[in-house]
A = this chain, B = another copy of it.
Amino acid sequence: MSDHNDLEAFLDEAWRHLNRGAADSSSPARYPTFATVSPEGKPQARTVALRGASRPNSILEVHTDIATDKVTALEHTPIAAFHIWLPRANLQIRLSASVAILTGDCVDAQWAKVPPSSRVSYGTLPAPGHPIVDVYDYEKPSDRDRFAVLKCTVKEIDLVHLGKRHRRALFIAEDNWVGSWLAP
């Protein structure tokens, strides 16, 4: 068990969960809630799958169909909030990230790794969120041109551990991730 007064260990723990989430589909950190701001200025949130995590580069990676509303939102406000609750660890991870929407040749490597059975997640017709008459009035072809990688550069990490006494800390990229305790 890490020293409760050790900021570095607290951040280490969060990244261990993020790395595991990116590597293991059964990890509780696999499916963060991803919040954005709509073009009308309203909050939005949905589940995403964490596809990559790199602490050295402060990057999280999410894959999406470019026809979804989260891409429309990110084109207007290229910032996302990630929210992860880890029940066994009693840990809430909150991240703020700037998001680049990558498509085309520069995501060839990621597309190559998408299993054929998952490629149908990119290309639904009509596009996700479009009204349809009956429940299954849609098709799911695979469309390489609709595949996008959301490259999320982490700017802030806010951790809350709910123990006998709660612990909360904030880590900021600009401060080189040194971290500081906050009142929870």
Contacts and interface: CB of A to CB of B under 8 A. Distances in A.
Interface string A27-43: 00001010111000111
A182 interface: yes
Contacts of A124: 183-184
Contacts of A132: 181-183
Contacts of A79: 42-43
A100 to B, nearest CB: 16
Nearest to A7: B135
Interface residues of A, number: 49
A45 B81 contact: yes
Contacts of A138: 183-184
Interface in A99-148: 124-138
A46 B77 contact: no
Interface string A76-106: 0101111101000000101010000000000
Contacts of A137: 181, 183
A71 to B, nearest CB: 14
Contacts of A133: 181
Interface in A166-184: 167-170, 180-184
Contacts of A81: 35, 42-45
Interface in A33-80: 33, 35-37, 41-47, 77, 79-80
A35 B36 CA distance: 8
Q: Which 5 A-B pairs have the closest CB atoms?
A: A45-B83, A35-B35, A35-B43, A35-B45, A138-B183
